[in-house]
Chains A and B, each alone.
Chain A
Amino acid sequence: MFIAAATRIFTLRFKATNTPTVNKENIIKATMLAAFLLLFLLGSRFQAEANKVVCLEEKCEKPHAHGELNFHEQFPVEHQDSFGVATVKSSANFWIANASGMTFALVIAGAGLSLVLSYKRIGSFLETRGLKGAALGSVIGMPLNMCANCSAVASVGINARSGSAESTLGVILGGALFNFIGIATMFTLFDPAVVVSRIVFSLMMILIVVPLVSKTIVSRQQSVLNDKVANAISCYFPEKTFLQTMVKAFEDWLILTGNLAIKLLPLMFLGTVLVALFRVLFPNEVLEEIGHYNPLLVIVIISFIGTFLSIPVLFEILLGTVLLQLGFSNGAIAAMLFTAPSYGIFTMVLTREKLGGYKVPIILIATTFLFGIGTGLLADFLTPYL
């Protein structure tokens, strides 16, 4: 879908300008972006997702090695660990679980931004606002196969210059909530009511909440990137040969990747520590303790935990299976499946600057929490009918 959209954009013609619509540089950069995405998906992402499905289906060879997130962790957090040690271990586990995704998020963001800076038409495409901007963003986010954390890195990077808030949030939420493999896996594991309610609230989040909250941003043009280096990327050199243009495309890509890395890696580190702190404060034991509470209260607590819990791609399904095994209701499972992969602490840290401060991120976190409760209630309501 993404490639089809990119192809369509390339067929559009500029009017009243001397610059040709498509030049060598744009073609090379677009090919490079598509190649990086395919490399990521075919090289490791599909395999990693398949491994998670094996664990979900209880065919894993080392089920005893499943850690806090019900998946293999490098540094298991033990009961006797102090708060500090547990936080450090949890941070390391989170970083390692996200390592490939985050690295490729930077790679893809560098390639995407390089194309956006060279090809103004794509830049204006990403500036689309309102419902259309959010929908277009989510369509770009879907094939990334990344969690909200990694897609936030990719999205903030690609939209760094002039992309709209709607497009930025659309990419993040589209990638996190509309992962095709994830949705297909959910249908095989959970009650249809759970998956249907998650899809309904995901659509509402992207198509209603994102355009509405984006309107509250005071400054219309939030550029995370506005410097000499980026300005020099958007040059056009028709006299250069194909080989010279290719070298320039790689040079632009790596410089922009470095440009984004120095800005985003410290934020990613901060987001990881905050997420780890929350994991240590609310370990899986909390889930076991609340099982016998009032069903509505359970959904509220699960929504709260899920909202502040940032997880790598498809880990929400692993957490959903934990809840299923503990005997939780469909509502509680649906609440976790919606809130855990959605907008959270990590994405808040990453997008704060792009969204003009903490106001919009806080509104989005509060909405995620409320929608989590809504997803849970809808799932419980639909269970007898589906």
Chain B
Amino acid sequence: MTLQKSIIGIVLFAVQLGIAIYFNASVDLKVVVALAIPTLAYILYKYFSKKYDQDAGPIK
């Protein structure tokens, strides 16, 4: 599985997170969103700026 598929998986996870928040707007889910958004932004930045390729591996 490539990093591209993992990113699609993160999008799927975000949809599931959105459904959970819509029906149970609990604080724990909001904390997860608060942590996931900047992390996803960082992953997307590294992915589109090809930093994962430069690191000779998908994650470093």
Contacts and interface: CB of A to CB of B under 8 A. Distances in A.
* Prevailing SS type, chain A contact patch: helix
B23 A248 contact: no
Interface in B1-57: 1-3, 5-13, 16-17, 19-20, 23-24, 26-29, 31-32, 35-36, 39-40, 42-43, 46, 57
A232 B58 contact: yes
B59 A251 contact: yes
B9 A43 contact: no
B37 to A, nearest CB: 10
A229 B59 contact: yes
Contacts, number: 127
B50 to A, nearest CB: 15
Interface in A238-261: 247-248, 250-261
Contact of A261 (B16, B27, B46): B16
Interface of A: 36, 39-40, 42-44, 47-48, 74, 95-96, 99-100, 102-104, 106-107, 225, 227-229, 231-233, 235, 237, 247-248, 250-263, 265
Given A103-B29, A254-B39, A237 B12 contact: no
B60 A258 contact: no
Contact of B59 (A43, A47, A233): A233
A262 B5 contact: yes
Given A227-B1, A229-B2, A232-B58, A102 B16 contact: yes
Contacts of B57: 228, 231-232, 235
Interface of B: 1-3, 5-13, 16-17, 19-20, 23-24, 26-29, 31-32, 35-36, 39-40, 42-43, 46, 57-60
Given A106-B13, A229-B2, A237-B60, A251 B39 contact: yes
Contacts of A42: 28
Nearest 4 A/B pairs, CB to CB: A43-B28, A262-B9, A258-B9, A258-B10
Contacts of B6: 229, 255-256, 258-259, 262
A262 B12 contact: yes
B52 to A, nearest CB: 9
A232 B59 contact: yes
Contacts of B7: 258
Contact of A248 (B12, B32, B40, B60): B60
Nearest to B60: A235
B26 A254 contact: no
A260 B32 contact: no
A246 to B, nearest CB: 11
Nearest to B3: A229
